[in-house]
Chain A
Amino acid sequence: MSISTVQDGVSAVSAPGPTTVKADRQLHNRVGLLTVSPSVLALLVWMIVPLAMTIYFSLIRYNLLYPGDNEFVGLENYYFFLTDEGFVHGALNTLWLVGATLLISVVAGVLIAVLVDTPFWGRGIVRVMLISPFFIMPTVSALVWKNLLLHPVSGVFAAVWNFFGATPVDWFAEYPLQAIILIVSWQWVPFAVLLLMTAMQSLDQEQKEAARLDGAGPIAIFWHITLPHLTRPIAVVVMIETIFLLSIFAEIFTTTGGGPGYETTNLAYLIYSQALLQFDVGMASAGGLVAVVIANIAAFILIRMIGKNLTEKA
């Protein structure tokens, strides 16, 4: 800034008159604009074009089975999407899936992180194994769960049930949503463990010792020292996991295909099924925009609730 001001001053002296100074400044601005514009433009196109297209599709009749019949229908697609019986199921299932997985991963994550914080033989290996499920592709882990673990005939769980003389459970038929929650939790608990385990290492040991001297047992130390120390990383876990869990798709696609009925259909899967099973691009676009709005509402609420926790200085 200061350099350009000096240069302005110099040019003003050499060529007097306010118009020259103004022109000079305009040139500066234009050069700046010119240099940043490609990236801004690229970003704009990158974001605006798909959004605009989605909005456009959501306002017209656009079914792949009836090409050419693309008249403007206003908010009809939205109306049909929101009143579709799948929407209520999708919304509730999404809520369940996100809520239950969050609860499981935070509770299990905290407990596991606290447990592996105490030194024991082979701790390094245990830590690596604990976080490894996170690095397996969702489709792969879903297939492993479906065919090797939960399968009512050849699954490991069925074998255990048989060993105790019980009838094996057909998980995806009897408890489909719970089974999906189990699979998703198996993938996302490690993420919570990873974050919380690292956070545990920054817990001041002297604080714990001070608490011991103050008469706190292990449980009191957990409640009054460890858990407050972990609130911030827990907030991070909740924020990040919410964003990813809202769009869970592969696990449902590979295991239940959204069924039976609508029992495991979440919003992401509903949109998919509208677009590619019922070929209704217009309605799927409307659903996508509804999902965007919902995700934004969730993000807004989260940031209001726990964002303060993050920005506050330690």
Chain B
Amino acid sequence: MADLTIRNLKKSFEDIDIIKGIDLDIKDHEFVVFVGPSGCGKSTLLRLIAGLEEVSSGTIHLDDRDITDVAPAKRDLAMVFQTYALYPHMTVRKNMSFALELAGADKAEINRKVDEAAQILELGHLLDRKPKALSGGQRQRVAIGRSIVRHPKIFLFDEPLSNLDAALRVQMRLELARLHHELKATMIYVTHDQVEAMTLADKVVVLNGGHIEQVGSPLELYHHPVNAFVAGFIGTPKMAFLKGKVEKADRAGVTVKLDCGPEYQLPLDGSRLKAGESVTFGMRPEHIEVTAADASPFKVTLDVTEHLGADTFCYVKAQNGETLTVRAGGDYAGRFGEQVGLTPDLAHCHLFDEKGRAVPKPGAPAKAA
């Protein structure tokens, strides 16, 4: 069992509040990813869980045990650091067995556990090398191996892939997913890269400025972001945001008039909105269709187009100067400066009120953060 329960956790450094009250439940076997912009407190939250920082207030429970004030080594957690933090003067084998030796395990058991971890991570032939003789990806694996031998209840990762090149990052990402499956482990993973979050997580925790914006599965966050921050953070390229005003709103639908021209009827529950209120209309690049200029009331000017092969990303400018990104087919051949029309898929569009909160879809009440 490995259920982590965090209640009203706060942390301040020299009177500056960094973590501003976190409530979070992590279930056994879950792969949880903390994601958020740089400096939002992801690492601090992870280090609080690991015990490397003292909490200012709040509690952390692992199963039924209060570990808020327990020493890091006694928490049954293992952490993989961003810089790997391997012991440079020890061989790979010694790096991996260090914790067990300190704990006074017997030789045979240590060797068995190290060999087992080395086999899982395909490190067998590297056991007698020193860290400096390893590549980045291999060091990463040793750092993971060092955690595995301890059989912790929860694995903690702090941006473990950020020092690897792009190709290796994809490969290690797959290996981590496989490892999670093989070990049936509970993992908490910190990243600022929303692609890593989306691909690895069972549950994504979006952090911003020291508090949680939203918790949910990757698709939940993608389809039902509770606010403009989450909507803008999840998904690449970013969701386009256009300013507008509510024309008419009721339980069955909302009519918005965008500042850049078009008026749309959205299938949203507008009972909280009033006519005349300013709102933000959000749509993802993949939910917009590019048409001929006269086929749509939403006319824009093509700026740069990026051909990626399968897709083409068009950066376009609306008549009032607002810019947005649109995804077109791979063989789309728009020219710079050309006038085109846009047709959003209204079923997949989002609307955010003045405070940035999402207007809920009828029948699917979104949880407020």
Contact surface of A with B, Cβ cutoff 8 Å: 204, 206-207, 209-216, 220, 224-225, 228-229, 231, 313-314
Contact = CB atoms under 8 A, between A and B. Distances in A.
Contacts of A216: 73, 98, 102
Contacts of A213: 50-52, 72-73, 77-79, 99
Interface in B87-128: 87-90, 98-99, 102-103
B100 to A, nearest CB: 9
B132 interface: yes
B103 A215 contact: yes
* Shortest Cβ-Cβ A-B pairs, 4 listed: A215-B73, A214-B99, A206-B85, A210-B85
Nearest to A214: B99
A174 to B, nearest CB: 44
B323 interface: no
A231 B88 CA distance: 12
A211 B103 contact: no
Given A209-B52, A228-B89, A314-B132, A215 B102 contact: yes
Contacts of B98: 211, 214, 216, 224
A313 B81 contact: no
Contacts of A204: 83, 85
Interface of B: 50-52, 72-74, 77-79, 81-83, 85-90, 98-99, 102-103, 132, 146, 150
A32 B320 CA distance: 74
B132 to A, nearest CB: 7
B132 A212 contact: no
A60 B103 CA distance: 70
B102 A225 contact: no
Contacts of B150: 214
B49 to A, nearest CB: 11
A231 B81 CA distance: 25
A216 B132 CA distance: 23
B73 A206 contact: no
Given A214-B99, A215-B99, A215-B102, A314 B88 contact: yes
A213 B82 CA distance: 15
A206 B156 CA distance: 14
Contacts of B89: 228-229, 231
Nearest to A227: B89
B174 to A, nearest CB: 25
Contacts of A228: 87-89
A214 B94 CA distance: 12
Contact of A212 (B73, B87, B88, B103): B73
B96 to A, nearest CB: 10
A206 B81 contact: yes
Contact of B79 (A207, A210, A229, A231): A210
A162 B90 CA distance: 53
A220 B101 CA distance: 11
17 contacts: A206-B85, A207-B87, A210-B79, A210-B87, A211-B98, A213-B50, A213-B72, A213-B77, A213-B79, A213-B99, A214-B146, A215-B73, A220-B102, A225-B87, A228-B87, A228-B89, A229-B89
A204 B82 CA distance: 12
Contact of B83 (A206, A214, A215, A220): A206
Nearest to A312: B132
Contacts of B77: 213
Given A206-B81, A216-B102, A211 B87 contact: yes
A229 B52 CA distance: 22
Contacts of B82: 206
A229 B98 CA distance: 16
A212 B72 contact: yes
B114 to A, nearest CB: 13
A152 B147 CA distance: 62
A215 B83 CA distance: 19
A214 B73 contact: yes
Nearest to A204: B85
A214 B81 contact: no
Contacts of B103: 215
Contacts of B85: 204, 206-207, 209-210
Contacts of A209: 52, 72, 79, 81, 85
B133 to A, nearest CB: 10
B43 to A, nearest CB: 11
Contacts of B88: 207, 228-229, 314
Contacts of A229: 88-89
A225 B102 CA distance: 13
Given A215-B74, A216-B102, 7 more contacts: A204-B83, A209-B81, A213-B52, A215-B103, A224-B90, A228-B87, A314-B132
Nearest to B104: A215
B73 A313 contact: no
B87 A224 contact: yes
Contacts of A220: 102
Contacts of B87: 207, 210-211, 224-225, 228
Contacts of A207: 85-88
